[in-house]
């Protein structure tokens, strides 16, 4: 399967209200994006799909929601203050700054002529701010650059309160911030983004097998939610690529229009994080196994994914164009769980006679599913719009509905239509959608 065209998807996102450049009325703001009426629903669905698989459908993972603002001690212990940096060089010709690993020899990416670069300097990617009314040393706080530290600093709290024992995991979904030097490629790399991370704590001897398990099951998750296997690959990091704490890392990559790009990293973090925080906080961060009388610091396997990047991958994979009755159409073949709306309720006419019934059906289906309601335009154009935003089913309420208590269900992918009684509509969708 070839990579998809980015511009088509970016245009669709803008046109239909998935993603807008942030602060667009002021010319946009530094590679930031706002998620519109449809994009916010889809992003939420991506995160919910992750939580369903990683927390809801397991008995060994709990969810937390930790603070975004963090004390310097946390990031001192984690190594972010000293290590979380990119090497930067300045071009003395165009006066711009680049990541050292993104320039070829002495060719400046902007001016394209041979020019002089300064020596590399480490640039810390964390956003720094201050808490309280007085700026100064004691007031410095950081916006978290990953959600993971929230799981490590709460390890003892969760262990005490959740009655879990290794192997068990702590999961979190939330915003992270990195002062990226080269944000870009739409929502692939931004300075503010959402992560979906699991820290899975295991007995040290089981680390390799759990790493293997998480690599396989995370890859399968993307396939289950509709990305063709040939647009995905697992890439194991070479030894010289590994972070200082990692005993092995693999990236799940997607074939983006510009090439393979990381969706998720799965790392064996060993006992690095818990030991660092134990040392800096002088607290015991270990597990006492009563059955063996053994005390140990668990090893950690971390699958860390990005919600926004993943959403971009789902959109790109789902984008399709085909012909319906010789008419070209654009269709997003999104998994129903990821689509902004599962169902659209469409009264055939705006006449007062149809509206109350259509609204009643919308309210009924809305108890379980996110449903659009659209009474504008000709019905064919409304179907096209729903196809384009990925809605798997339309329910058309027509004048016959008033007589036969039935409606027409139209399927997005096949455009097939069938007539269904209103009183069995809920169970019909439960069967079709699987929930
Ligand atoms: P990259 O090499 O692309 O900078 P990374 O290896 O630094 O990513 P991790 O620290 O492993 O990323 O973070 C886990 C996940 O968080 C990534 O796989 C990605 O999906 C997401 N992520 C990281 N940085 C960004 C960003 N700037 N914008 C959007 N998503 C991001």
**For residue 72, what pLDDT is reported?**
92
| 262 CA from centroid of ligand 1 (Å) | 7
Cβ pair 6, 261 in contact under 8 A = no
The residue assigned the tokens 């449809």 is: 38
Q: Is the pLDDT of residue 182 over 90?
A: no
Higher-confidence residue of 97 and 13: namely 13
The DSSP bridge partners found for residue 408 are 396, 419
The 3-state secondary structure of the chain, one letter per residue: CCCCCHHHHHHHHHHHCCEEECCHHHCCCCCCEEECHHHHHHHHHHHHHHHHHHHHCCCCEEEECCCCEECHHHHHHHCHHHHCEEEEEEECCCCCEEEHHHCECCECCCCCCECCECCCEEEECCCEEECCCCCCHHHEEEECCCCHHHHHHCHHHHHHHHCCCCCEEEEEEEEEECCCCCCECCCCECCEEEEEEEEEEECHHHHHHHHHHHHHHHHHHHHHCCCCHHHEEEEECCHHHCCCCCCCEEEEEEEECCEEEEEEEEEEEECHHHHHHHHHHCCCCCEEECCCCEEECCEEEEEEEEHHHHHHHHHHHHEEEEEECCEEEEEECCCCCCCCCCEEEEECCCCCCCHHHHHHHHHHHCCCCCEEECCCCCHHHHHHHHHHCCCCEEEEECHHHHHHCEEEEEECCCCCEEEEEHHHHHHHHHHHHCC
> Does residue 125's CB lie within 6 angstroms of at least one atom of ligand 1?
no
Looking from the CA of residue 306, the nearest atom of ligand 1 is 20
Looking from the CA of residue 183, the nearest atom of ligand 1 is 27
**For residue 69, what pLDDT is reported?**
96
- Would you kindly state where each structural domain of the chain is located, as residue ranges? 6-73+126-315, 85-124, 341-433
| 428 CA from centroid of ligand 1 (Å) | 40
Per-residue pLDDT averaged across 63-74, rounded?
Answer: 96
> Does residue 178's CB lie within 6 angstroms of at least one atom of ligand 1?
yes
Looking from the CA of residue 310, the nearest atom of ligand 1 is 20
pLDDT confidence tier of residue 113, bands split at 50, 70 and 90? low
Cβ pair 303, 249 in contact under 8 A = no
Instruction: Name the residue with the closest Cα to ligand 1, atom 19.
Output: 306
Q: Is the pLDDT of residue 201 over 60?
A: yes
The DSSP bridge partners found for residue 107 are 104, 114
Q: Is the pLDDT of residue 165 over 70?
A: yes
Which of 3-7, 272-276, 293-297 is predicted least confidently?
3-7
Per-residue pLDDT averaged across 111-137, rounded?
Answer: 83
Instruction: Name the residue with the closest Cα to ligand 1, atom 1.
Output: 262
> Does residue 35's CB lie within 6 angstroms of at least one atom of ligand 1?
no
| 130 CA from centroid of ligand 1 (Å) | 25
CATH 3.30.930.10 fits 6-73+126-315, yes or no: yes
**For residue 122, what pLDDT is reported?**
84
Which of 125-139, 156-170, 248-262, 397-411 is predicted least confidently?
125-139
Please state the pTM of the whole predicted model.
0.94
Q: Is the pLDDT of residue 119 over 80?
A: yes
**For residue 106, what pLDDT is reported?**
57
**For residue 83, what pLDDT is reported?**
87
**For residue 105, what pLDDT is reported?**
61
Instruction: Name the residue with the closest Cα to ligand 1, atom 26.
Output: 189
> Does residue 190's CB lie within 6 angstroms of at least one atom of ligand 1?
yes
Ligand 1 pocket: which of 101, 260, 309, 312 to mutate (most atoms <8 Å of CB)? 309
Ligand 1 pocket: which of 33, 47, 195, 267 to mutate (most atoms <8 Å of CB)? 195
**For residue 110, what pLDDT is reported?**
65
Q: Is the pLDDT of residue 87 over 90?
A: no
Instruction: Name the residue with the closest Cα to ligand 1, atom 4.
Output: 189
Instruction: Name the residue with the closest Cα to ligand 1, atom 13.
Output: 304
Which of 76-90, 192-206, 263-277 is predicted least confidently?
76-90
Q: Is the pLDDT of residue 412 over 60?
A: yes
**For residue 267, what pLDDT is reported?**
97
Ligand 1 pocket: which of 33, 46, 85, 189 to mutate (most atoms <8 Å of CB)? 189
pLDDT tens per residue, range 312-336: 999 999 999 999 989 999 999 999 9
Q: Is the pLDDT of residue 1 over 70?
A: no
| 99 CA from centroid of ligand 1 (Å) | 16
pLDDT confidence tier of residue 416, bands split at 50, 70 and 90? very high
Ligand 1 pocket: which of 265, 268, 303 to mutate (most atoms <8 Å of CB)? 265
**For residue 111, what pLDDT is reported?**
63
Per-residue pLDDT averaged across 35-55, rounded?
Answer: 98
The residue assigned the tokens 């647009």 is: 231
Mean pLDDT over all residues of the chain? 94
| 171 CA from centroid of ligand 1 (Å) | 17
Per-residue pLDDT averaged across 298-312, rounded?
Answer: 98
pLDDT tens per residue, range 131-149: 988 877 778 999 999 999 9
**For residue 86, what pLDDT is reported?**
83
| 386 CA from centroid of ligand 1 (Å) | 32
Higher-confidence residue of 433 and 108: namely 433
> Does residue 265's CB lie within 6 angstroms of at least one atom of ligand 1?
yes
> Does residue 193's CB lie within 6 angstroms of at least one atom of ligand 1?
yes
* Percent of the chain residues past pLDDT 70, beyond the cut: 97
CATH 3.40.50.800 fits 341-433, yes or no: yes
Per-residue pLDDT averaged across 211-225, rounded?
Answer: 98
Instruction: Name the residue with the closest Cα to ligand 1, atom 29.
Output: 189
Half-sphere exposure of 33 (CA within 13 A, CB side): 25
Q: Is the pLDDT of residue 365 over 80?
A: yes
Q: Is the pLDDT of residue 278 over 70?
A: yes
In angstroms, the CA 43 to CA 47 distance is: 6
Cβ pair 307, 211 in contact under 8 A = no
**For residue 323, what pLDDT is reported?**
94
């Amino acid at each position: 399967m070839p990579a998809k065209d980015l511009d088509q998807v970016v245009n669709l996102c803008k046109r239909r209200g998935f993603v807008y450049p942030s602060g667009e009325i002021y010319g946009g703001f530094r590679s930031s994006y706002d998620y519109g009426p449809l994009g916010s629903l889809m992003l939420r669905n991506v995160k919910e799909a992750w939580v369903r698989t990683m927390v809801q459908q397991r008995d060994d993972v709990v969810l937390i929601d930790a603070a975004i603002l963090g004390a310097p001690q946390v990031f001192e212990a984690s190594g972010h203050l000293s290590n979380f940096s990119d090497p930067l060089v300045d071009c003395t010709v165009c006066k711009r700054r680049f990541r050292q690993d993104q320039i070829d020899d002495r060719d400046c990416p902007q001016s394209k002529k041979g020019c002089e670069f300064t020596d590399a300097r480490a640039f810390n990617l964390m956003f720094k701010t201050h808490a309280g009314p007085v700026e100064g040393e004691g007031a410095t706080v950081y916006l978290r650059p990953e959600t993971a530290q929230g799981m490590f600093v709460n390890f003892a709290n969760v262990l005490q309160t959740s009655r879990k024992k290794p192997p068990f995991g702590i999961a979190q979904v939330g915003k992270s911030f990195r002062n990226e030097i080269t944000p870009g490629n739409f929502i692939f790399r931004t300075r503010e983004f959402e992560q979906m991370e699991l820290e899975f704590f295991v007995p040290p001897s089981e680390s390799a097998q759990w790493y293997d398990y998480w690599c396989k099951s995370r890859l399968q998750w993307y396939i289950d939610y509709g990305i063709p296997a040939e647009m995905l690959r697992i890439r194991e990091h070479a030894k010289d690529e590994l972070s200082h704490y990692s005993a092995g890392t693999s990236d799940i990559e997607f074939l983006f229009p510009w090439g393979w790009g990381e969706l998720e990293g799965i790392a064996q973090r060993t006992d690095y994080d818990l030991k660092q925080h134990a040392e800096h906080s002088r607290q015991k961060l270990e597990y006492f196994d009563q059955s063996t009388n053994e005390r140990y610091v668990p090893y950690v396997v971390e699958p860390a994914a990005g919600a926004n990047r993943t959403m971009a991958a789902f959109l790109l994979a789902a984008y399709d164009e085909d012909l319906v009755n010789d008419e070209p159409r654009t269709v997003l073949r999104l998994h129903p769980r990821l689509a902004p709306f599962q169902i659209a309720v469409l009264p055939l006419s705006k006449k007062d006679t149809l509206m109350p019934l259509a609204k009643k059906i919308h309210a009924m289906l809305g108890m379980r599913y996110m449903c659009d309601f659209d009474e504008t335009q000709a019905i064919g154009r409304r179907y096209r719009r729903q196809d384009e935003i990925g809605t798997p089913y339309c329910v058309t309420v027509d004048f016959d509905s008033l007589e036969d208590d039935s409606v027409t269900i139209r399927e997005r992918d096949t455009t097939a239509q069938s007539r269904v009684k209103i009183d069995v509509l809920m169970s019909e969708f439960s069967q079709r959608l699987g929930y």
